[in-house]
Structure 1
Amino acid sequence: MASAQVLSERGLDRIPEDYVRPPEERPEVAHDSFSHRQNIPVIDLSESRPRSQIVKEISQACEGWGFFQVLNHGVPYELLQRIMDVGAQFLSLPVHEKQLYSCRPGIAASEGYGHRMLVQENQVLDWRDYFDHHTLPLARRNINNWPGKPPIYRHTIEEYSEQMKLLAQRLLSLISESLGLKPSYIQNAIGEPYQNISLNYYPPCPEPELTLGLQSHSDLGAITLLLQDDVGGLQVCVDDTWVAVQPLHGALVVNLADQVQILSNGRYKSIEHRAVVNRNRSRISIATFYDPGREVTISPAPELLSANNPATYNSVLFGDHVSAWYNKGPKGKKVLDSLAV
């Protein structure tokens, strides 16, 4: 099946059946305007603000939403603009040039350019193309696997990787503290981080009411940082209602992933989210996933457990969690739910 970008550029009136979601999974409203959006919590990370106030706001956001946006996060705005620009330049290359960097066929989560998140027969495809970069640890990084056009592409990804690592570590410290744990607790539990950076492209779609740019799921690892353009399309599921997230200039979206839900013994939640698409406009987002290594075992923090608050999740080897997610498909949060005691 051709990629979503190729199909969109052909000017089709209807999308192929491979992209049509079952009726119960289709978005209720085509995402053609800024209506039906509201902001998730917004947290100012300015160094001048009292840390105790930031910790309090993060606790409220993690308990109530599992998603929030951060401003004054320390990542240079010039870099945010530049990585979006180089991503757009790569996406504008001819198909045959992009395909030089294609993901390895039949291998889930392989690095490169692709349009199939899962490797399963009879799966419904997402209306999305992407490029997944393996950026940390450095032993995984091979910049020759990344596009050479435009010339600053590889350097920009490396620079962005470092900034995202620093921000993820800062946020995990604040999240640990908000749980009453040592600031270093979650980072120590994760160990040497594994980081992937995914460039996502959602082209215009002739039937946005029938498909999704990204199916409903929760993220696998510890924390995800998302940079998005002004088009919008991210939706989060809160109290069984899909809430569309208003893009905020200069902000990064933060969402908790499954391993923080386990570590917090369910106090903090990894929230289902999805991306809807637009009839007239394309959308670009860049997601940075900050995860444990596959050999790391994650358990509820003992400091959070008591006779009145027993463990609600079994320990899990992160590699097993990843394999189950890719083999079975996300299906919302069923993979995480299977770990419940």
Structure 2
Amino acid sequence: MEAVTRVQNLAESKLPHVPAQYIQPLHDRPTTQNSSLNIPVIDLSTPGDFLRGALCGACREWGAFHVTNHSVPLEVLRRMRRHGRSFFEETPMPDKLKYSCDLTSAASEGYGSKMLVSKNDTVLDWRDYFDHHTLPLSRRNPRNWPESPSDYRRTVEEYSDQMNALAERVLGLISESLGLKRDYFKDLVGEFYQNITVSYYPACPQPELTLGLQSHSDFGVITLLIQDDVGGLQVLKDGEWVTVEPLDDAIVVLLSDQTQVITNGEYISAIHRAITNPNKARLSVATFHDPAKTVKISPASELVSESSPRRYRDVVYGDYVSSWYTKGPEGKRNLDALLLNS
């Protein structure tokens, strides 16, 4: 059994102060954010040229945006949120612990609290999570997922397939917005390795000292995220943290590091984090879409020219992931290590 303190247990013990290992360094603590901004909202039913133009602006300026009219049944989104919350709030702790992650592996499936298993000095996130391995189908083993509610496993499978289809659709539109063929990302990346992570952020007695998730950009290709009505996701824009206000029927798109490399920096991966709430628990569901570990990622040759020289060196995706887990999350320092000297 995993000998890790669960953040939910700490919260339910009504401690007046958070333990020292959850206190962020002064420069990383939440500050007053820019409330006048929000990430773009893109209607996927918009006619072609207008849609591509909107995507181009959002991908260049933000690396993050909401999508609406995305064709994913809203009932599936709501059921996924509901079942995720049920695991954390209705399942007895002994039953939850049956699904504990393997502490010796950073990529272990199941119920966990500490992301970087090899770094003992890392400040901890105020978060518990359940990670599901969902694609390729050879990785998908529903017996590793909760049994309750009775349709939990079916819901995760359905949600996985819907998110996979949406990720392919959005990346196709992003390819076209750059003048690339629609299947450019699909041909380069191949079959997605998809993980679905349900994150649970309990109410925190000192939200001004903690983070639910530290500042980072995702290391794969594209992340699709839904959150509940509590909110807490923040995206960094021009040096300011912008809170992503929840939209019940929308899905948040976060571009990841490999997309910034493939687009030669034309489009940016989103630096983001999660803040905590003093009164309410928050839940989000992030679906990560990554290449296989053996895939080599490089800038698209069509986007490299004399006026736009190559900015990133090639990288084997598995090497990039290993570096990320070794160094830990901190903005884009892992991506910046791939920059070519000019």
Q: TM-score, normalised by structure 1?
A: 0.96
The answer as to 2:121 corresponding to 1:107 is no
* 1:37 shift after superposition: 6.2
1:202–1:282 Cα contact (<8 Å) kept: yes
> What per-residue deviation string (whole Å, max 9, x for no partner) do you get for residues 293-320 of structure 1?
1110000000111122221000000000
The answer as to 2:228 corresponding to 1:229 is yes
Partner of 1:72 in structure 2?
Answer: 69
Partner of 1:57 in structure 2?
Answer: 54
Q: Using the alignment, how far apart are the partners of 2:163 and 2:37 within structure 1? A: 25
Give the aligned residue type for 1:134. H
Give the aligned residue type for 1:186. F
Unaligned runs of 5+ in 2: none
Matches within 5 A, 1:1-341: 1-29=4-32, 36=35, 38-46=37-45, 49-92=46-89, 93-119=91-117, 120-341=119-340
* 1:113 shift after superposition: 0.3
* 1:2 shift after superposition: 1.5
Identity across matched positions, percent: 55
SS of the residue aligned with 1:225? strand
SS of the residue aligned with 2:208? helix
1:265–1:311 Cα contact (<8 Å) kept: yes
* 1:331 shift after superposition: 1.6
Q: Using the alignment, how far apart are the partners of 1:336 and 1:173 within structure 2? A: 23
Q: Using the alignment, how far apart are the partners of 1:221 and 1:37 within structure 2? A: 30
Q: Using the alignment, how far apart are the partners of 2:62 and 2:243 within structure 1? A: 13
Give the aligned residue type for 2:141. N
1:37–1:245 Cα contact (<8 Å) kept: no
Unaligned runs of 5+ in 1: none
Q: Using the alignment, how far apart are the partners of 1:236 and 1:308 within structure 2? A: 30
> What per-residue deviation string (whole Å, max 9, x for no partner) do you get for residues 69-96 of structure 1?
0111001011111111111111121111
1:196–1:288 Cα contact (<8 Å) kept: yes
> What per-residue deviation string (whole Å, max 9, x for no partner) do you get for residues 19-57 of structure 1?
01100100014x9xxx936321000112xx312211111
Runs of 4+ in 1 over 6 A off after TM superposition: none
SS of the residue aligned with 1:167? helix
Q: Using the alignment, how far apart are the partners of 1:235 and 1:187 within structure 2? A: 29
> What per-residue deviation string (whole Å, max 9, x for no partner) do you get for residues 257-305 of structure 1?
0001000000100021000000001100000001111110000000111
- Greater mean deviation of Cα atoms: 326-335 or 67-76: 326-335
- Greater mean deviation of Cα atoms: 208-217 or 89-98: 89-98
Q: TM-score, normalised by structure 2?
A: 0.96
